[in-house]
Structure 1
Amino acid sequence: MKSTLYILLVLSLLFFPSCKTETKKKEKKALPQKPNIVFIMSDDHAYQAISAYNDTLIQTPNIDRIAEEGVLFTNASVTNSICAPSRAVILTGKHSHLNGKIDNNMPFDTTNVTFPQLFQKAGYQTAMFGKLHFGNNPKGFDEFKILPGQGDYYNPKFITSKGDTIVNGYVTDIITDFTLDWMKKRRDTTKPFLLMYLHKAPHRTWLPAERHYKVFTKKTFPLPATLFDTYDTRGTAAKTAEMGILKEMQLRYDNKLTKEVTDELKVEDKYDWSPLDRMTTLQRTSWNETYSPISEEFRKSYPAMNDSALTVWKYQRYMQDYLATIAAVDENVGRVLDYLDENNLKENTVVVYTSDQGFYLGEHGWFDKRFMYNESFKTPLLIRWPNVITPETTEDEMVQNLDFAQTFLEIAGINAPEDMQGESFLPLLINEKEKWKRDAVYYHYYEYPSVHAVKRHYGIATKKFKLMHFYYDVDEWEFYDREKDPMEIRNLYNDPDYANIISEMKEKLSALRIKYKDSDEHNNRYIQIYKENGWIK
């Protein structure tokens, strides 16, 4: 009898959950109304140079804090890996061919509606400090202080609504000073705010702050596995690109050798100006104390260097300066996070850290970006939203910079325009992953012929595969198995074992081009504009 009652009790628990359990299932966490948003973006910050992704090159404890207290996206990517077009995609939520900013040459169409304009209209206080890269009067901001174009690392000029101003100091520190000054003195505490905090670093030419170059120039870094890639299975594009560390990285402009040494060694430098020209006498004196001995050491070693040794030397110098500029970014991100935490702003503020694209840190022998290969296609994305995002979450769903506008608008409860093309990934932030349906993303790069000579191409990526089509002066396809070949060194386009998969990927690619309203007509129209402006023949 006792055993029978025990069995009935167990069955009742299995098939008739308690009222408490049922209530818990139905509970849905209420999202904060109109939270603040702090959007932090660096320029050319490779995900490989954030220790939350990879701790072999540098430690970035402050940027990592965002992931530790929130979510780390491992499959975030861009739609067009180049600075100004990426920023235009972020602001408009539309692909480059529709917002018109296909490359760094084409002007930004100011009739585009940007998401900060919508935030401002909805009652948010808005501010932008740092690098925009295009336009001198960004719409939708109550206050802005932005660098003209690329801007300078030392003693930079800023464009403001009240005129231009030059500020002495180091750019990463100054941008943060502006940001904190606004939050402390001019933030309207009765309104939610949208703050765009945008760093120049670590963009070329990688000039570190004094406190960091004295440390990082003494460091040695591990070589990437594909530093000496020979592109055996790939087509014309990879073989003709002009962003190789050996040939295209400049000894004076990039690696900071003195003109006296390059002249003595009869080494030609592509650029006839120095990125150090804006330094004060005191700043230059301190710089020379560290970098002149490096030049002298190179002068003695260069005659015996073969191509491999020169590549390794250039790579180490590149990493020393590039990573040193990131050290300043990380420190300053920490300053902003500390301010939010210490002033009761943490709980109701969404903090986003990203880059306008990825970057090559010696992979495939390259620096720069532009290609759809992983290192420039993928971008870091870390988001903190206390009491909403589960801390230490890792998310591998495919999101893009195209999605930022709609995601932020939905977070703020603002309706997005129908012509925006992204998808809000809010479901991924609030544990409603079943609502996220995307299985592929689209990419299109246009700036050719131009600097670095990366050919025009478009393509599609899923979690497993990637298909790219290079066009304009070539007609070549490349296909990669992303799971079996994560470094993307084996082009399998002509492998019969993948014929069916490639056919399916081509169908998916055609469907995405239709969905996003891209076409060969767009390509031809932009090529014609290039010809009319004399940018290409």
Structure 2
Amino acid sequence: MKLFKHITFFVVALLTVGCKTEKSSKENTQKPNIIFIMSDDHAYQAISAYDDTLIQTPNIDRIAKEGMLFTNASVTNSICAPSRAVILTGKHSHINGKIDNLSKFDTTNVTFPQLLQKAGYQTAMFGKLHFGNNPKGFDEFKILPGQGAYYNPKFITQKGDTIINGYVTDITTDLTLDWMKNRRDPKKPFMLMYLHKAPHRAWLPSKKYFTEYTKKTFPLPATLFDDYKTRGTASKTAQMGIFKHMSLTNDNKLTSQTIKELRIKEWSNLGQSIDGMNPEQRAAWDAVYGPINEDFKKRYPTMNDSLLTVWKYQRYMQDYLGTIASVDDNVGHILDYLDDEKLADNTLVVYTSDQGFYLGEHGWFDKRFMYNESFKTPLLIKWPNQIKPGITEDEMVQNLDFAQTFLEIAGVDAPKEMQGESLVPLLTGKKETWDREAVYYHYYEYPAEHAVKRHYGVATKEFKLIHFYHDVNEWELYDSKKDPKEINNIINDPTYAEVVLEMKQKLKETRKKYKDSETLDNHYIELYNKK
């Protein structure tokens, strides 16, 4: 009898181990999950893994600590919808056709989610897409219409539109977690796009953070009062200056009544930003921003241009960074869920932005230019057992590369028309196979909001060459090593005459490589003029 018990116990133990081994084997052989986290207009300067001067972002930083931080990541076209089109298609704007926020997205483009879905991935998208009401390649989506609202936002779904009460950053996370907990198929790998509206203009923080951040004071950027002495027309005529073009109402949250009392002439649309609040939300808002208005009324009569610029900058930073604090909290919720559910080890997590953003550098807000603050974008990636934790990577990568990276990770062949390069060699320690020396940029949306002129350019680790065209013909060259703040345009410096020739040749070659040309430039100008 004892012998029988021992044999029975041994058999059960073997079966148990066998079941666990089989289950473990299935989990280990399943293709990696992919979570793509993107915020809108999140400057790399506002992530403490890059620079802790302005804000601490411990949860976003976790991705870098457990993975890789890219210091030379950039975009191909620094404006929201075109950037997203590049990410989805793996093709430059002039190829995918989405050159600006105004043009329609050509839905005949094949996107990487479509290919992953076809390959057996379960796919979902929650948050801000910015264009298109029916994104292809997703089993489920809930997306904001256009820019969306910070408070009590409307979402577009497969079943129709719905308004969800609350704060948009929290809601986007709740929708994402709800899908992961309740509708994710554990038998399938998944690709999830978790897309935040914040910190897009007009920067409305949650109650928790507008209460905290409106009390903070931030250091001024070194180039806040840049005079563009060595630059051409483009910098001098752009309409994105904190002093001249940042709205006291919509951006700095003064009320129309305050503006009226002070006899300041300014267009106002603050109401459009906060009218969607319910009475409780509005009361909390007024309790904090009301005293700010009263304080400004006292200060304004004695303010000169410089003091007003500084005041507007501080107000800008308080609200902009306040929205990012909520993003960081919510990214933490997603990372915690992955850890708690034992999903982290087989999940690639990416954090990025659709482009960079000016936080007072050169006196600006917004993006669009090929200068570093808008051209460069944050990129942090973790992939346990593949990426060694805590690595900083300075190779030149772009949002153009995401599609091919995700496809390679999933074991799916990328279409030949995709123009990026898979980041897998950099992620997996095979850097010797990476040979990119330069990246290409092209901005189209002019004449339009912010009046940033059309330009294209090429950047290496050492230099950046920019050509402004259309209604001007101006060139700029920057020495990225000696002049990282890009203050001195050296295009006419005899010392750099040879570099100018080399960079112009490199630009010519790069334009040819990516199939861009003067013919296409003129084509898109003609299309734009017909709108």
TM-score per shorter chain, which class?
over 0.9
1:392 and 2:423 matched: no
Q: Which residue among 52, 55, 67 is the counterpart of 1:55? A: 52
1:203 and 2:200 matched: yes
Q: Assess if the C-alpha contact under 8 Å between 1:131 and 1:199 holds in 2.
A: yes
Q: Which residue among 412, 417, 434 is the counterpart of 2:432? A: 434
Q: Which residue among 492, 499, 504 is the counterpart of 1:494? A: 492
1:143 maps to what in 2? 140
Q: Assess if the C-alpha contact under 8 Å between 1:33 and 1:412 holds in 2.
A: no
1:192 maps to what in 2? 189
**Aligned partner letter, 1:73:** F
**Aligned partner letter, 2:92:** H
Structure 1 residue 510: deviation in Å? Answer: 0.3
Q: Which residue among 155, 160, 163 is the counterpart of 2:160? A: 163
Structure 1 residue 268: deviation in Å? Answer: 2.4
**Matches of 2:70 and 2:304, distance apart in 1:** 41
2:12 maps to what in 1? none
SS of the counterpart of 1:448?
coil
What runs of 5+ residues in structure 1 fail to find an aligned partner?
A: 1-30
**Matches of 2:407 and 2:43, distance apart in 1:** 27
**Matches of 1:292 and 1:158, distance apart in 2:** 30
Offset from partner CA, 1:237-285 (integer Å, 9 cap, x none):
0000000000100001100012111111122233445211110111111
SS of the counterpart of 1:484?
coil
1:510 maps to what in 2? 508
**Aligned partner letter, 1:485:** D
Moved more, 273-282 or 451-460: 273-282
Q: Which residue among 400, 417, 420 is the counterpart of 1:419? A: 417
Q: Which residue among 284, 287, 299 is the counterpart of 2:285? A: 287
2:517 maps to what in 1? 519
1:315 and 2:313 matched: yes
**Aligned partner letter, 2:356:** G
SS of the counterpart of 2:155?
strand
Please provide the CA RMSD for this pair: 0.8
Q: Assess if the C-alpha contact under 8 Å between 2:83 and 2:399 holds in 1.
A: yes
2:19 maps to what in 1? none
Q: Assess if the C-alpha contact under 8 Å between 1:34 and 1:192 holds in 2.
A: yes
Q: Assess if the C-alpha contact under 8 Å between 1:32 and 1:348 holds in 2.
A: no
SS of the counterpart of 1:347?
helix
SS of the counterpart of 1:246?
helix
Q: Assess if the C-alpha contact under 8 Å between 1:43 and 1:357 holds in 2.
A: yes
**Matches of 1:70 and 1:518, distance apart in 2:** 35
2:10 maps to what in 1? none
Offset from partner CA, 1:492-512 (integer Å, 9 cap, x none):
000010010110000110001
Q: Assess if the C-alpha contact under 8 Å between 2:255 and 2:270 holds in 1.
A: no
Q: Assess if the C-alpha contact under 8 Å between 1:78 and 1:401 holds in 2.
A: yes
Structure 1 residue 32: deviation in Å? Answer: 6.2
What runs of 5+ residues in structure 2 fail to find an aligned partner?
A: 1-27
**Aligned partner letter, 1:528:** E
**Matches of 1:191 and 1:268, distance apart in 2:** 58
1:406 maps to what in 2? 404
The residue correspondences of 1:478-489 to structure 2 (distance < 5 A) are 478-489=476-487
Structure 1 residue 148: deviation in Å? Answer: 0.2
1:360 and 2:358 matched: yes
Q: Assess if the C-alpha contact under 8 Å between 2:167 and 2:206 holds in 1.
A: yes
**Matches of 2:267 and 2:437, distance apart in 1:** 43
Aligned residues: 503
Q: Which residue among 85, 92, 95 is the counterpart of 2:89? A: 92
TM-score (structure 1 length as normaliser): 0.93
**Aligned partner letter, 1:289:** A
SS of the counterpart of 1:403?
helix
Q: Which residue among 446, 449, 452 is the counterpart of 2:447? A: 449
1:226 and 2:223 matched: yes
**Matches of 1:389 and 1:32, distance apart in 2:** 18
**Aligned partner letter, 1:247:** K
1:79 maps to what in 2? 76
SS of the counterpart of 2:244?
coil
Q: Assess if the C-alpha contact under 8 Å between 1:41 and 1:197 holds in 2.
A: yes
Q: Assess if the C-alpha contact under 8 Å between 2:75 and 2:441 holds in 1.
A: yes
**Matches of 1:317 and 1:88, distance apart in 2:** 32
**Aligned partner letter, 2:156:** I
**Matches of 2:255 and 2:237, distance apart in 1:** 29
Q: Assess if the C-alpha contact under 8 Å between 2:85 and 2:105 holds in 1.
A: yes
TM-score (structure 2 length as normaliser): 0.94
User: Which ranges of 4 or more aligned residues in structure 1 deviate by more than 6 Å?
Assistant: none
**Matches of 1:294 and 1:271, distance apart in 2:** 17
Offset from partner CA, 1:448-495 (integer Å, 9 cap, x none):
000000000000000010000000000000000000000000000000
Offset from partner CA, 1:311-353 (integer Å, 9 cap, x none):
0000000000000000000000000000000001000000000
**Matches of 1:263 and 1:137, distance apart in 2:** 43
Q: Assess if the C-alpha contact under 8 Å between 1:442 and 1:461 holds in 2.
A: yes
Structure 1 residue 391: deviation in Å? Answer: 0.3
